[in-house]
Structure 1
Amino acid sequence: MAVDLDLPTTVLASTFLASGALHLVRPQVFEPMVPTPLRGHDRLLVRVSGVAEIACGAGLLVPPTREMAGWAGAALLVGVFPANLQMSIDHARRAQRTQTPQAIGVLAGTLARLPLQWPLVRIALRAAGRG
């Protein structure tokens, strides 16, 4: 069976698969990212998002499911954006409090990650046939 994937879709699928697996194996890494209004169900939300990432990644690799996986992946990326924002807010507070080079560097990384979410959404939409 020919997979017929372009490089951006392959990278997005691989990213979803790796990140989803990490959500399931090490959920405690992601729990602090759960936005404050959703706290209390951290482990469940992290696991559900991990399963969703794996489903999107696998779906992008299979031509008959690629369109649906593209739509689902774009929605997932938009849906988890508040968690990425929460991570930046938390690291900004930590950097302000400690003012260490390491804390400032981690903050810079989380801030740089935020605008990268949108090209991933475009890749997912293109995989869905809408980009």
Structure 2
Amino acid sequence: MRLAPRSPRLLAGLLGSAGVLHFARPLPFDTTVPRLLPGSARTWTYVSGAVELGLAAAVAAPRTRRAASLAAAGFFVAVLPANVQMAVDWRDKPAAMRAAAYARLPLQAPLVAWAIRASRDARG
């Protein structure tokens, strides 16, 4: 399937927006950091935000899009434990919040697929 030319740019926009949110509103991200990771949750929040910003810039550029999109696919897999942590921690929250937490889990698969497809369109 051929991607619309804007699809990689939309992926870059998604990554960039998420990256900015990690710095502008870090607390919600802090709470999803799996407790087994060493160091502070805030450090992991900032590191993941910086990674998202870097990936966004690299996905947006046609010369680095292929490698960056594949790296983004790996990143989406790597953050799945944070989404699982959120679902576990929110199991006693109101129904709407629980539903949002559970909905994030299967969302990773289409994000990975989108990033892989974007890697095939290095022209822009």
Shorter-chain TM band: 0.7 to 0.9
Question: Residue 7 of structure 2 contacts residue 118 of structure 2 at CA under 8 Å; is this kept in 1?
Answer: no
Matched, 1:70 2:35: no
Deviations 1:73-101 (A, max 9, x none): 01110010100110011111x23xxxxxx
Matched, 1:27 2:18: no
Q: Provide the residue aligned with 1:51 in structure 2.
A: 50
Question: Residue 90 of structure 2 contacts residue 98 of structure 2 at CA under 8 Å; is this kept in 1?
Answer: yes
Q: Provide the residue aligned with 1:36 in structure 2.
A: 35
Residue 40 of structure 1: how far off its partner (Å): 3.7
SS at match of 1:117: helix
Matched, 1:104 2:95: yes
- For 2:5 and 2:104, how far apart are their aligned partners in 1? 23
Q: Which has the larger radius of gyration?
A: 1
Q: Provide the residue aligned with 1:11 in structure 2.
A: 10
Larger helix proportion of the pair: 1
Runs of at least 5 residues in structure 2 that lack an aligned partner in the other structure: none
Query: TM-score, normalized by length of structure 1?
Result: 0.83
- For 1:66 and 1:106, how far apart are their aligned partners in 2? 34
Cα distance change, pair 83–64 in 1 and its aligned pair in 2 (3 A): same
Residue 25 of structure 1: how far off its partner (Å): 1.8
SS at match of 2:29: helix
- For 1:129 and 1:90, how far apart are their aligned partners in 2? 37
- For 2:21 and 2:8, how far apart are their aligned partners in 1? 20
User: How many residues get paired?
Assistant: 119
RMSD: 1.9
Structure with the greater relative contact order (CA < 8 A, sep ≥ 6): 1 or 2? Answer: 2
Residue 5 of structure 1: how far off its partner (Å): 6.2
Q: Provide the residue aligned with 2:116 in structure 1.
A: 125
Q: Provide the residue aligned with 2:78 in structure 1.
A: 79
Query: TM-score, normalized by length of structure 2?
Result: 0.87
- For 2:109 and 2:115, how far apart are their aligned partners in 1? 10
